[in-house]
């Protein structure tokens, strides 16, 4: 499934706050784990996602508990503060992506008390299908963030007015879209000798344009 050759694979990040995702069964995992980190998708089983997870915990005995949306198949490595497990993720969020071809969860993807962060990579068509699934599940209660890989895409940059493109290009060069972020909007403003509010306005407009093109472009 990974062998996409020269396909135009795109990268985005989905954020769902704990309030927006309070109806999702997976959110209760934060009662037992401070962080549930997705590492790798092994395969799809019965519409669910079989995967490797890193679980951060205060007491490793919690691994013996039962969970509504996660079935731990085996503990690969256990320590007092974190464990590596193979598990079935059966909540509605992973099932959206397990049902789709040509779109994958990649790092960083995790769940904490603050909510879900899901980083996705896939084709334009697969991303449109994923967005439809997310909208059916969450309405408009999620945010899509632009990744550096998409921001660098020449096709998307051509859609922007010159001033937006200039600010975005400077932001990319200074590492604003890197993970972790390597600069602030204030630093970008100082580099361009413009107001921080102007940087914020241009970046928000540019991101909105690129995100719209990202999920709608054929």
| Vertex 21 angle, CA 20 and 27, to 5° | 145
Q: Could you tell me the pLDDT band of residue 217, with boundaries at 50, 70 and 90?
A: low
% of the chain exceeding 70 in pLDDT: 87
- Weakest-pLDDT range from 34-43, 150-159, 179-188: 150-159
Q: How far apart are CA 171 and CA 168, in angstroms?
A: 5
CA distance 35 to 15: 15
> Quick one: tokens of 115?
């909510």
Q: What is the 3-state secondary structure (H, E, C) of the chain?
A: CCCCCCCCCEEEEEEEECCCCCCCHHHHHHHCCCEEEEEEEEEEECCEEEEEEEEECCCHHHHHCCCCCEEEEEEEEECCCEEEEEEEECCHHHHHHHCCCCEEEEEEEEEECCEEEEEEEECHHHHHHHHHHHHHHHCCCCEEEECHHHHCCHHHHCCCCHHHHHHHHHHHHCCCCCCCCCCCHHHHHHHHCCCHHHHHHHHHHHHHHHHHHHHHCC
Could you tell me the pTM of the whole model?
0.73
Q: How many residues does the chain have?
A: 218
The alpha carbon of residue 194 and the mean position of all alpha carbons in its chain are separated, in whole angstroms, by 31
Structural domains in the chain, CATH included, are 10-146 (no CATH), 148-216 (1.10.10)
Check pLDDT > 90 for residue 18.
yes
Q: What percent of the chain clears pLDDT 90, i.e. is strictly above it?
A: 58
β-pair partners for 74: 86
Give the per-residue pLDDT at 177.
78
pLDDT of 178: 74
| 155-188 per-position pLDDT tens digit | 666 778 889 889 988 988 898 877 678 899 999 9
Answer yes or no: is pLDDT of 123 > 90: no
Confidence of residue 3 (pLDDT cuts 50, 70, 90): very low
CA-CA distance, 29 to 6, in Å (whole number)?
38
pLDDT digits (tens, 9 = 90+) for 75-121: 999 999 999 999 999 999 999 999 998 999 988 899 999 999 998 88
Cis ω for the linkage preceding 75 (within 30 of 0) = no
Average pLDDT over residues 129-150: 81
pLDDT greater than 70 at residue 45: yes
What rounded mean pLDDT belongs to the chain?
A: 87
User: What is the structure's pLDDT at 179?
Assistant: 65
């Amino acid at each position: 499934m990974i062998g996409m050759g020269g396909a135009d694979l795109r990268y985005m990040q989905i954020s769902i706050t704990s309030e927006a995702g309070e109806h999702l069964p997976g959110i209760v995992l934060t009662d037992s784990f401070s962080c549930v980190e997705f590492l790798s998708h092994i395969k799809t089983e019965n519409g669910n996602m079989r995967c490797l997870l890193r679980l951060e915990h205060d007491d490793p005995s919690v691994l013996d508990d039962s969970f509504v949306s996660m079935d731990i198949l085996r503990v690969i490595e256990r320590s007092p503060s974190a464990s590596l497990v193979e598990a079935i993720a059966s909540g509605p969020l992973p099932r959206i992506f397990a049902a789709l071809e040509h779109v994958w969860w990649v790092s960083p993807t995790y769940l904490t008390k603050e909510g879900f962060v899901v980083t996705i990579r896939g084709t334009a068509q697969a991303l449109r299908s994923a967005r439809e699934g997310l909208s059916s599940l969450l309405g408009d209660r999620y945010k899509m963030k632009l990744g550096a890989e998409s921001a660098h895409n020449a096709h998307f940059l051509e859609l922007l007015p010159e001033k937006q493109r200039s600010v975005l290009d400077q932001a990319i060069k200074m590492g604003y879209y890197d993970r972790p972020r390597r600069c602030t909007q204030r630093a970008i403003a100082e580099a361009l000798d413009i107001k921080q509010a102007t940087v914020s306005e241009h970046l928000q407009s540019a991101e909105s344009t690129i995100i719209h093109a990202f999920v709608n472009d054929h």
